[in-house]
Copies of this chain bind each other. A is one copy, B any other.
């Protein structure tokens, strides 16, 4: 049995047997601390040729994106502050120092708004360039966001538009002719691909909009693997189904006109928005307080993990599941 026979999800399922039960259920790991705060730790690895290439991203943007992807996982756990990151860098000996310098400058750029720093790390020679980043964040006890904390009746909320990062990649790879999109959308899509923003601001908005008397209970994850995968993960882990309103997909109107638009919105991935399951009163308050946020559907009593279209009742196509490693 080889890893490519297993695929990424089966591999992760098997690896979870080496950790405490449920430990791998969320975007990142929660550590109990004595202080009334909880620590969150998250590790992401970015491999040349798999996650990035010189053809589509320069070193400074790569550093930014690598840090932002990790901070997005902290936001997806409900972190309100970021302590910092450790960085393992692997690169061949003929790698230019200027490339490494750019990556670290980009990492620093992405951390600075949060008062976070590079805590440490390791370096090694190796055949391909690779970054493995571990981010540490904090949240107040009892205010975690968990994939499994959704309930039937919750509204599904997206913190922003989806598909832009994939559009940006398509433009950079020339899968799409530049003339097919307006210069304004092109610029926005490439920015979304190269300089995504982790949505820690959405966590702050969750705190400020919680209706009094409502206990903290927020289901959620980030959309790094795609919007449909995020909805499916919340529904499956929460033991319920989901309906999505096709007319309410969080997609740029111009992108929606492209043939691949809806597909990229659902499965493109790497938009690094938050997808949340909230009681309706809280969801309404969040929608009013946080520009760009929209309601995309609801959790419902149904087969766990089954995602259907509100309008047609049909299940979402499996093709929207996003990228899988090793296959």
Q: Which residues of A contact B (CB under 8 A)?
A: 1-6, 8, 11-12, 14-15, 18-20, 23-24, 28-29, 31, 33-37, 39, 41-47, 49-51, 83-84, 86-98, 100-101, 104-105, 107-108, 117-128, 130, 132, 134, 136, 325-327
Q: Is the interface of A mostly helix, strand, loop or mixed?
A: mixed
Q: How far is the CA of A12 from the CA of B84 in the complex (A)?
A: 18
Say yes or no: B50 contacts A126, CB within 8 Å: yes
Question: Contacts of A94 on B, CB cut-off 8 Å?
Answer: 2-4
Q: How far is the CA of A120 from the CA of B5 in the complex (A)?
A: 23
Q: How far is the CA of A5 from the CA of B95 in the complex (A)?
A: 10
Say yes or no: B124 contacts A1, CB within 8 Å: no
Indicate how many identical chains form the complex. 2
Closest-CB distance, A103 to chain B (whole angstroms):
9
Our pick among B29, B43, B125 for the contact of A50 (Cβ within 8 Å) is: B125
Q: How far is the CA of A55 from the CA of B24 in the complex (A)?
A: 32
Closest-CB distance, A214 to chain B (whole angstroms):
27
Say yes or no: A136 contacts B23, CB within 8 Å: no
Q: How far is the CA of A93 from the CA of B50 in the complex (A)?
A: 12
Our pick among B44, B46, B108, B325 for the contact of A125 (Cβ within 8 Å) is: B325
Our pick among B42, B83, B97 for the contact of A1 (Cβ within 8 Å) is: B97
Q: A100-B15, A128-B128 are in contact. Are A120 and B28 (CB under 8 A)?
A: yes
Q: A95-B3, A96-B1 are in contact. Are A134 and B86 (CB under 8 A)?
A: yes
- Extra 19 A-B pairs, beta carbons < 8 Å, given A3-B95, A28-B120: A1-B96, A1-B97, A3-B93, A3-B96, A4-B94, A15-B104, A18-B105, A19-B120, A23-B120, A31-B84, A34-B35, A34-B36, A34-B37, A41-B86, A43-B88, A43-B134, A51-B124, A125-B325, A134-B134
Task: List 23 A-B pairs, Cβ < 8 Å.
Answer: A2-B96, A2-B97, A3-B95, A3-B97, A11-B123, A15-B100, A18-B105, A19-B120, A20-B117, A24-B120, A31-B84, A33-B33, A39-B39, A39-B136, A44-B88, A45-B122, A46-B124, A47-B125, A47-B126, A50-B125, A90-B130, A126-B130, A130-B130
Our pick among B41, B88, B118, B325 for the contact of A120 (Cβ within 8 Å) is: B41
Closest-CB distance, A76 to chain B (whole angstroms):
13
Q: How far is the CA of A51 from the CA of B88 in the complex (A)?
A: 14
Q: How far is the CA of A35 from the CA of B34 in the complex (A)?
A: 6
Q: How far is the CA of A15 from the CA of B128 in the complex (A)?
A: 19
Closest-CB distance, A57 to chain B (whole angstroms):
16
Closest-CB distance, A31 to chain B (whole angstroms):
6
Q: A104-B15, A128-B127 are in contact. Are A23 and B134 (CB under 8 A)?
A: no
Question: Contacts of A326 on B, CB cut-off 8 Å?
Answer: 93, 123, 125
Identify the closest chain B residue to A28 (Cβ). B120
Q: How far is the CA of A42 from the CA of B128 in the complex (A)?
A: 23
